[in-house]
Amino acid sequence: MDEAEAAVSFELPGADLSEEELTVAVVPMQAGEFRCARCFLVHHRSQLVTKRDGREVCQECS
């Protein structure tokens, strides 16, 4: 059995969350933030590295 097959059949005891509804507050991107062109996560401007082609990427992706 490979990992994918094991993950499909894996169930946590008492974890029937089928009736649960999740609520998440979505906050618009702030003035001091940017979206990385590689990982698509929102980071603070202090993490910004601008590539030669003009793309904004974070320090982790540069």
pLDDT tens readout for residues 34-56: 999 999 999 999 999 988 898 99
Its pTM stands at 0.59
Q: Provide CATH code, domain 28-62.
A: 3.30.60
Nearest alpha-carbon partner for 33 in 22, 18, 48, 12: 48
Tell me the percentage of the chain whose pLDDT exceeds 70: 84
3-state secondary structure of 34: strand
CB 17, CB 27: distance < 8 Å: no
Query: Beta-strand (E) ranges in 1-62?
Result: 33-35, 42-44, 48-50, 56-58
Torsion of the alpha carbons at 13, 15, 18 and 22, rounded to the nearest 10: -170
